[in-house]
Amino acid sequence: MINVTKTFLPPKEEYDRILEEIWHSNQIANGGKLHLELRKKLKERLEVDNIILTANGTLPLQIALNLLGDEGEIITTPFSYVATTSSIVWEKCTPVFVDIHPDFLTIDEKKIEEAITPRTTLILATHVFGNPCNVEIIEKIARKHSLKVVYDAAHCFGIKYKKQSIFNYGDLSTCSFHATKLFHTGEGGAMITKDEKLYQQLFYRHNFGHAGELAYYGLGINAKMSELQAGMGLAVLQYVDSIIANHKKVAEWYDFYLKFNGYRKPSIRKFTEWNYSYYPVIFESAQLLLKIQKKLNENRVFPRRYFYPSLNKLPYVTAVKMEISEITADRIMCLPLAFDLQEKEVKEICRIINSCI
């Protein structure tokens, strides 16, 4: 069976050696040695100033919206994972959807300004499959209207845009370290910002609001990453370069064996150093997608309709037409992509797809 993704697990003995440190210290939470070590290594690896490690990748979105959203209107994309929109609603804000660019699949920056109202508080945009938004135009719009910018960068580990870490754009970026990601901590995530004052506000909010042991800056929740998660991250981190290299090799096999007749790939924005985290394909029709998905499933290959549905169709948001996002969500599918996928397996997947056209 070939699934759309596969979790990379480091050699068990290496993780066991790291776990011994936890048993020796008897500290399993609250910023222990492994947590601090992983934070330091990720700051260096990702070339960022401030990073807060969290228990999952959704909590950073919720904390950011709680701090900056002010229960206002949030300009956002309808083409992302459900957590982007659900976090907005969860924090009692209102999602205002802006349709996407048909080639890059990121929010269409040319349509943002017309969606801004006096109730707009921030822009929450997604770097879709790690493909950067038009960050320059979004920044100009945000400055003009005194808005904050938060990027859902869940898929962006290791990505650079114009030789800068993608995490250094906007006021705040969030990332996911879920088990299916290139770099993972089993379950986990991060908040990243250049702004030192914002960093301090985010930090105390992810730690119950603590100011030391007995005082509080203000309201907070528990979003802290555990030592067990940090230990997994340390074990995985040393393999990230080879994981990305293998992903790139698999993507190149797809590029070679697929005929791209009746389907296409999204475009990656110029000046992007991409991480090959996913291999999305957009078909000419939903009927063709379903036909190919059925045939692949019959051969024990399980791609994923990712992202589906378009988020403007969720039952807890106000219905609004988002033509490009809806068409894309109906027709896009991510093909299997994993660090250990073999060329013969990719070749067979491509043969099945090409034969269905």
The structure tokens listed for 285 are 């029709």
Give residue-wise pLDDT tens across range 220-231: 999 999 999 999
pLDDT, the chain, mean: 97
Domains of the chain, CATH where assigned: 2-237 (3.40.640.10), 240-356 (3.90.1150.10)
- Please report which confidence band the pLDDT of residue 357 belongs to, taking 50, 70 and 90 as the band edges: confident
Q: How far is residue 303 from each of residues 197, 198, 284, 288, 319, measured CA to CA in Å?
A: 43, 39, 17, 14, 28
Q: Which of 51, 85, 73, 82 is nearest to 123 (CA)?
A: 73
The model's pTM: 0.97
Q: Which residues contact 20 (CB under 8 A, 6 or more apart)?
A: none
Give residue-wise pLDDT tens across range 272-328: 999 999 999 999 999 999 999 999 999 999 999 999 999 999 999 999 999 999 999
Cα four-point dihedral sign 264, 270, 274, 277: negative
Give residue-wise pLDDT tens across range 143-183: 999 999 999 999 999 999 999 999 999 999 999 999 999 99
